[in-house]
Structure 1
Amino acid sequence: MRFMVMIKADKNTEAGVMPSKKLLTDMGKYNEELVKAGVLLAGEGLQPSSKGARVKFSGDKRTVIDGPFTETKELIAGYWLFQVKSKEEAIEWVKRCPNPLEGESEIEIRQVFEAEDFGDEFTPELRHAEERMRAQVAGRQ
């Protein structure tokens, strides 16, 4: 099972405040543990929303909204993609994580959809196209 693990933003991450040397060191050690255990598939920190944009969809219309975005509780400062056996295992790994922000912080864990989750609507033709695309992406890495 794959899980997206998202670090929620706060006023400091949104202001572009860089993590301390200690936090970078602690996170580096934590990431090494994830790699050695075969859990980590990907992970990155994200720039503040002031450097981002959103695209709002309304029928066929597309509207671009430039950052910054005001509600920091809904923003993501970084993420990991874990490969684990269960949600409980993902939770246990997250509980071992150094506190990613000063003071209070929150990390959200969400399971990623797999092909079999889509049922009959995901036809053999669509599955084949998806597999071909994933192979192309994997070949670039």
Structure 2
Amino acid sequence: MRFMIIIKADKNTEAGMMPDEKLLTAMGNFNEELVKAGVLLAGEGLHPSSKGARVRFSGDTRTVIDGPFAETKELIAGYWLWQVKSKEEAIEWVKRCPNPTGAESEIEIRQIFEAEDFGAEFTPELRAQEERLRAETATWR
């Protein structure tokens, strides 16, 4: 099972404050544990929302909204993609994670849809297209 582990933003990450050496070291050590356990697929920190944008869809209309965005608690400061056996295993790994802000913070765990989750609507043709695209993008890394 694959999970996205979402690190929530706070006022400091939104202000563009970078983690100190102590937190970077702790996160580096944690990432090393994830790699050695075969759990880590990817992970990155994100720039503040002031450097981002959103595209709002309304029918055929697209509206671009530049950051920053007001609701800090709904923003993402970073993420990991993990391969684990269960949600419970993902929870156990998150509980071992260094506190991403050093203060009150929150990490969200969300399972990623797999092809079989889509049922009959995911036709053999769509499945073949998905597999081709995954194989093609794997060569980009």
CA offset digits 1:37-58 (Å, max 9, x no partner): 0000000000000000000000
Matched with 1:70 is: 70
The CA distance in 1 between the partners of 2:131 and 2:25, in whole Å, is 37
1:96 aligns with 2:96: yes
Matched with 2:14 is: 14
1:102 Cα deviation after fit: 2.8
TM norm structure 2: 0.99
Percent identity over the alignment is: 82
The aligned length equals: 141
1:140 Cα deviation after fit: 1.3
Matched with 1:115 is: 115
TM norm structure 1: 0.99
Matched with 1:28 is: 28
The CA distance in 1 between the partners of 2:53 and 2:92, in whole Å, is 33
Q: How large is the RMSD of aligned CA atoms in angstroms?
A: 0.4
The CA distance in 1 between the partners of 2:81 and 2:3, in whole Å, is 6
Secondary structure in 2 matching 1:140? coil
1:125 aligns with 2:119: no
Letter of the structure 2 residue corresponding to residue 60 of structure 1? D
Q: Could you list the runs of 4 or more consecutive aligned residues of structure 1 that deviate by over 6 angstroms after TM superposition?
A: none
Structure 2: runs of 5 or more not aligned: none
The CA distance in 2 between the partners of 1:55 and 1:5, in whole Å, is 23
Matched with 2:87 is: 87
